[in-house]
Each structure stands twice: as C-alpha cells, then as structure tokens.
Structure 1
Amino acid sequence: MEQYTIEQRAQIVEIYFSNQRSIVLTQRAYRRQFNVRVAPSQSTINRLVANFREQGAVRNLPGPGRHRTVHTADNIQVVQESIREDPETSTRRRSSQLGLSRTSLQRILHTIGLFPYKIQLVQELKPTDYQQRLDYAIYFQQKAQENPNFIHNLIMSDEAYFQLNGFVNKQNCRIWATENPRVLHQRQLHPVKCTVWCGVSSERIIGPFFFENEQGVAISVNGDRYRAMLQNFVRPAVENHPQIWFQQDGATAHTARATMTLLRDIFGERIISRNSNFNWPPRSPDLTAPDCFLWGYLKGKVYVNKPRTIEELKTNIREEINNIPPEVLRKVMENVLERAHLCEAEYGHHLRDIIFNN
C-alpha cells in the first residue's frame, strides 16, 4: 500500500532537487504547491531520493522471494504518515482505514515505539503568540539543518512541583459497597511538596535539583535562587561541553537581566530564551522535552510505592531519572525537532494532544 502515487513521488524528488536539496525547504515547498498542511516526512523524502539515485526510479522495487508479512517498510511508512495526519484515531478505526488487521497495526505501532498518551492541557495562546511560535519553529529547524548535532547539543530545562499526596487519584480509587459510603479524602490547603528543576538532553538529564531551604522545605524559585542553581549546579555540569545550547521558558526569574548575563557567561549566545537572540515563544510547553516527556513520565513512576515522606519522594525522583535509558532520551530530543516541524505545519497553533516519534 502506497501513501503517495508514482506521480506524487516524482514531484517530491523534483521539489527536493529544486530546493537546494534541503529537507525543510522541500517540505515547505510541498505544502505551498499542494496547499496541504502535512508534508512528507524526512524519512519519506530521504527514501525516495535514495531510490531515485540508486535505481533511477521512485517506486519501491519488489525484493526476491515471497513476502508473507504485512510488517513491511511500506506499511510502517503508511502507519507513520497516518499517525502524523490524525493521532487521535483509535486503532480499530485506523486498521480499517489502512486495510490492516488490528493485530498487525498494533505490532507495527509497538515496533516503531509509539504509545498512547492522555491529552495535555495547555494555556490559551494570545493573538501575538502564533507568529512567535512559527518563527521559533522555522529557526529551530534551520539550526538543525545547519548542524545535525544541534538537537543533541541542546538542554531543555524547566521546574515542576511534586506533591507528596500526588499518588491519590480519585479516578482510580474505588470502594466496593452496597451503598455509597460517602468517604471523603481530605486535601491539605498547603500540601507538602518539592520543587524540582531538570535539564533534559539526548545524552543525560542534568538534575534533579531541589529548590529548598536548609531544613529541606520547598521554596519558591526567584532570581537569586535560580542564578545560584545555574552557577553552582549547571555550570559544573556543562563546563566541558563548549557546544551546549540551553533552553528555558520566559519566567521572570529566568529572564531577569542578571540571569541572562550569567547565562551568557556560561553558554555564550547559545541560549533559547526570551531576551536572547533565539527567542523562546510564550505559552509553549508543547514544544519542550520536560513538559512533553519528563514530568508526565516521572509522575507516573514516583508515586507507585506511595512515598510517605518528602525524602522518599525525592529518592524516587532521583532513581527514576537515573533509570531512564539513553536511547529514550535520544528519541525524546528527536521528537522535539519533529514538534518544531509540526508547529510550522500548524502555523504556530498548539500541537494536537500527542505527537509520536519515529
């Protein structure tokens, strides 16, 4: 089963060679030419160009022998394109649309590392945000095009709160009885929590760093505390990596003049942030590795054994971070690039609830 006709494949190859052999420019030109929002993926373009160079053709030539499996490169490609176009369709409906059995579809999804995720709530974008997000997405892709190691030299950072009572989930808590026992779970007005900072890269996670006072009690993140963390925790971790880029959101503590001065002392101009040469768009958690992966992943892990003290919770956070395989981090950062591509395709709008990495 082919996602593109022979004529469309030929046009993709022609667009590629007419646009400086650039993947990003090819995708952009394809969307303009065909007035569509979704362009061929990088892997599709590379495969078509490789076929053209090696065989002088854009169709997939059949290999020797009899193929008994639907687990083929073409079917995998079709599934990936289908996911990009509509990640919300159920496996039952998608299998019918693609002409695959549900079992075969699930096997392909498992093979290429796709998982279902819950919807992510995000802040409503303001009218001026769309252009900033679009500009960021285009510039981010250009950086990755100029330097293939760009995303692997990038640290994406953020803070999050972990409440000690976070393991209580009323949707999963059931009491079996003949009548409603009217049991209430009392919630603290000021719950015990820890404030965690992490920096995610394709090789490791820098952190966790806990913002707390001498008594181990969580404290808010202000400019002085954030700069102390950068100086005493982040700087030693990156001092032997002169090509590292650093990303942060637009929180006041992050973008104060003194903070930006310190960041430039550590990273030079390799900063993605408000008040930098590479602007970070506001209200854009859907474009960051911590928000799109790390915090949700950790919150699904650290409460499993129901920690009873803040120290137990912090220990769980440290252990779960250390247990994340390097190959997962690499896929996460590759997914960040894919998110930039889809942000451009969405003209700066928020991405859909989930994006899958190839």
Structure 2
Amino acid sequence: MRETHFQHEFKVNIWCGVICGYLIGPFELPTNLNGPLYLDFLQERLHELLEDIPLALRQNMQFLHDGAPPHYSLQVRQYLKEQFPHWPPRGPDLNPLDFSIWSQMKALVYKEKITSLPQLRRKIEEAADVIKNNTQGLFDIKRSDHKVY
C-alpha cells in the first residue's frame, strides 16, 4: 500500500448532473465558487449542458443540490424558485451524485497517479465518458426520476 495525497496537488471544482439516468457534464466551475458565479453558471451555461437531454425530460425535471454556500445565496435561491417552483431550498447532504457518481468517477480518475492539472481534467472527462457510455449502468438512478442533482 502506498499513501498518496491527490487532493493537495491539484484542485478543480466540477459540476455534474443526473436526470433519468443521464449524466450531464462534467463542467468545470471556478475554484473559488461564490453565489454570483454559481448563478451565472445556472443562467448562462446549464442550458447548454441540457441540450442533449430529451425535451420531455427537461420540461418535467426538478432541481436539487446540496447546501454549499454558493448554492444557497439569495440570488441563486430566487432564480431557482422562479425556474423550478417546487424546488426545495435545501437539498439533502447526500444525493445520488454523492453516493453513486462521484465514487465511480474518483475510482476511474485515480486508477493511476495524476501528475498534472491538464491530466486531471482529461481523466475526469474520460471517466465521465465511461459512465455515460456504460450500457450496464454504473449508477442506479430510476428512469422515472425527473430530478437534476
């Protein structure tokens, strides 16, 4: 066994979503994320990530995220309440991404030692592709679940 400290060498802030078994993203957010930057992502970039999701799923989706401070800023809460009227202002600390996707992604990304930030970004993209293209389903999300996590 060899101890390593990947988290201390490189840092990226990645957003992913799940809707009806589809993995959305990954999308790299600013490292020092705050409410206005997260709101900008929601307003300007999220729709691009959802373009490949069937319209019927997007029309009926709900939005859920954890209680991280940028997610809970007043501007973000107001925007989400307008876009998703049934949006819960505080999502659970553990959502399907926490207990399913992130563990799978980390296992794929950190199979081998990461030596640079570009390599880390590439490995994250590759891991997302593996998860997206796995017909066996690396994660167990009900197809009737119309939530974006």
Residues 206 and 234, structure 1, Cα contact 8 Å, conserved in 2: no
Q: What is residue 199 of structure 1 aligned with on the other side? A: 17
**Residue 255 of structure 1: which of 72, 94, 97 is its match?**
72
CA deviation profile, 1:294-345 (whole Å, cap 9, x unmatched): 111111111223232111111111111111125526x5223xx8xxxxxxxx
Q: Provide closer, same or farther for how the CA distance between residues 248 and 187 of structure 1 changes in structure 2, counting only shifts above 3 A.
A: closer
TM-score by length of 1: 0.34
- Name the one with the larger strand percent: 2
Distance change (3 Å), C-alpha of 1:198 and 1:186? closer
- 1:31-56, CA deviations, whole angstroms, 9 ceiling, x for partnerless residues? xxxxxxxxxxxxxxxxxxxxxxxxxx
The one of 48, 58, 67 aligned to 1:236 = 48
Task: State the Cα distance separating 1:261 from its structure 2 match.
Answer: 1.9
CA distance in structure 2 between the partners assigned to 1:309 and 1:235 by the alignment: 30
Structure 2 letter corresponding to 1:259: V
Structure number, greater radius of gyration = 1
Give secondary structure in 2 for the equivalent of 1:272: coil
Give the aligned length: 136
Q: Is the 8 A contact 2:64 2:88 kept in 1?
A: yes
RMSD over equivalenced CA pairs, Å: 2.7
The answer on 1:314 being equivalent to 2:131 is no
2:137 is equivalent to residue 328 of structure 1: yes
Identity of paired residues, percent? Answer: 26
Give the drift of 1:270. Answer: 3.7
Gap change, CA 1:251 and 1:188, over 3 Å in 2: closer
2:46 aligned partner, one-letter code: V
Three-state SS of the structure 2 residue aligned to 1:323 is helix
Q: Distance in 1 between matches of 2:123 and 2:130?
A: 10
* Contact kept? 1:202, 1:326, Cα under 8 Å: no
Note closer, same or farther for the CA distance 1:246–1:188 as it changes in structure 2 (3 Å cut): closer
- 2:85 equivalent in structure 1: 269
Q: Quick one: structure 1 residues 332 and 306, their matched pair in 2 at CA, closer, same or farther if it must change by over 3 Å?
A: same
Counterpart CA distance in 1 for 2:24 and 2:104 is 16
Residues 206-248 of structure 1, C-alpha deviation per residue, up to 9 Å, x if partnerless?
A: 1111123xxxxxx222101111111122133347421111111
Task: Please say if 1:208 is aligned against 2:26.
Answer: yes
Superimposed CA distance per residue, residues 44-78 of structure 1 (whole angstroms, 9 cap, x where no aligned partner): xxxxxxxxxxxxxxxxxxxxxxxxxxxxxxxxxxx
